[in-house]
């Protein structure tokens, strides 16, 4: 299983290695027809199963337990964050995140209680997808993954790396396979519960939920990759359209030139007609002279 996963990762990275990596490049969504179908599938699963379960979770679970669950999975995620801190050469942030992980894993009872934040050790979010971006790999096309949702080729490679090198070995040390499955379900439900208000707002306000979700995710991913140090607003200008406008303008000028040429020909025709009239007048005058003779 591991070689296949690494091969998939290698192929994804190769597919984006030669791509440009601008922080504010235009949105690249060549798979939109397929993405929309996957988005609709995910939305159907969410409405039928995940959203009702998340709503029930919020109703029956006391708030302190909800907080403890969030803290627990956040603490597990800090292992991946620390690894990516080091890979991105963020040594100061890595020291802070290592201290946070140590504090919350010990006196925080395995991460259930977040002592790190009030101690001045804030939560950071770093992923392998962001790390690949810092290393210069292009984003690749935007893609909606079944059940996983919005991604691009680069972040998908990051997901594969995360699950292969970090998450799976970590969870395997926690408990048996059945317990791992239960932890995964609890993590997904807890995460979905945090976004209930956001999804409700999206349904009420967005004219095109797919496009709104895509644009928001792309900008958020870029901002996380570049830590807010670069302009990450996707460009909307289409250079080709400007070229088309220029061609249209040239066509209009050509048409004007043709009209001018026709006008000039008309003027020449008029002059020719005048010349012909002059010649006729001269002939008439000669006839009159002949008659006088």
251-287: pLDDT as tens digits: 444 544 444 444 444 454 554 554 554 554 554 554 5
What residues pair up with 152 in beta bridges, in sequence order? 142
Residue 17: which pLDDT band, with cuts at 50, 70 and 90?
low
Q: What pLDDT score was predicted for residue 279? A: 52
Greater confidence, 26 or 272?
Answer: 26
Q: Which of 162-166, 209-213, 275-279 has the highest mean pLDDT?
A: 209-213
Per residue in 38-82, pLDDT (tens digit) is 999 999 999 999 999 999 999 999 999 999 999 999 999 999 999
Burial (CB count within 10 angstroms: exposed 0-12, middle 13-18, buried 19+), residue 156:
buried
Give the rounded percent of residues in the chain with a pLDDT score beyond 90. 50
Greater confidence, 121 or 159?
Answer: 121
Q: HSE of 239 in the Cβ direction (CA atoms, 13 Å)?
A: 2
- Average the pLDDT over 156-177 and give the result: 66
Q: What pLDDT score was predicted for residue 18? A: 52
Greater confidence, 94 or 273?
Answer: 94
The CA distance from 199 to 48, in Å, is 14
Q: What pLDDT score was predicted for residue 14? A: 54
Angle of helix 63-87 versus helix 177-194 axis, rounded to 10? 100
pTM for the model: 0.71
Q: What pLDDT score was predicted for residue 277? A: 47
Question: What residue segments make up the domains of the chain, in order of their start?
Answer: 2-236, 240-293
Q: What pLDDT score was predicted for residue 204? A: 82
Residue 8 clears pLDDT 90, i.e. is over it: no
Residue 109 clears pLDDT 60, i.e. is over it: yes
Count other Cβ atoms within 10 Å, centred on residue 124: 19
Compute the mean pLDDT over every residue in the chain, rounded to the nearest whole number: 79
Q: What pLDDT score was predicted for residue 253? A: 44
- Average the pLDDT over 169-198 and give the result: 78
Q: What pLDDT score was predicted for residue 37? A: 97
């Amino acid at each position: 299983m591991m070689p296949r996963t690494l091969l998939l990762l290698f192929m994804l990275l190769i597919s984006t290695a030669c791509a440009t990596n601008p922080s504010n490049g235009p949105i690249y969504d060549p798979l939109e027809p397929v993405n929309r179908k996957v988005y609709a599938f995910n939305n159907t699963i969410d409405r039928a199963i995940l959203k009702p379960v998340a709503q029930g979770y919020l109703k029956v679970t006391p708030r302190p337990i909800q907080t403890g669950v969030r803290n627990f999975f956040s603490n597990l995620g800090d292992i991946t964050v620390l690894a990516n801190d080091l890979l991105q050469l963020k040594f100061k942030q890595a020291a802070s995140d290592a201290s946070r992980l140590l504090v919350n894993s010990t006196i925080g009872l395995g991460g259930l209680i977040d002592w790190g934040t009030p101690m001045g050790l804030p939560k950071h979010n770093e992923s392998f997808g962001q790390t690949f971006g810092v290393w210069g790999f292009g984003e690749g096309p935007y893609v909606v993954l079944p059940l996983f949702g919005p991604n691009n080729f680069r972040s998908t490679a990051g997901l594969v790396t995360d699950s292969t090198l970090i998450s799976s070995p970590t969870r395997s040390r926690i408990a048996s396979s059945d317990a791992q499955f239960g932890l995964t379900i609890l993590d997904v439900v807890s995460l979905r519960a945090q976004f209930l208000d956001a999804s409700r707002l999206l349904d009420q306000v967005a004219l095109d939920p797919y496009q709104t979700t895509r644009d928001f995710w792309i900008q958020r991913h870029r901002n996380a990759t570049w830590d807010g140090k670069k302009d990450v607003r996707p460009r909307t200008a289409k250079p080709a359209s400007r070229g088309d406008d220029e061609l249209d303008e040239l066509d209009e000028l050509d048409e004007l030139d043709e009209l001018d040429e026709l006008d000039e020909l008309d003027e020449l025709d008029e002059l020719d007609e005048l010349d012909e009239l002059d010649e006729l007048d001269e002939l008439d005058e000669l006839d009159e002279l002949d008659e006088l003779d």
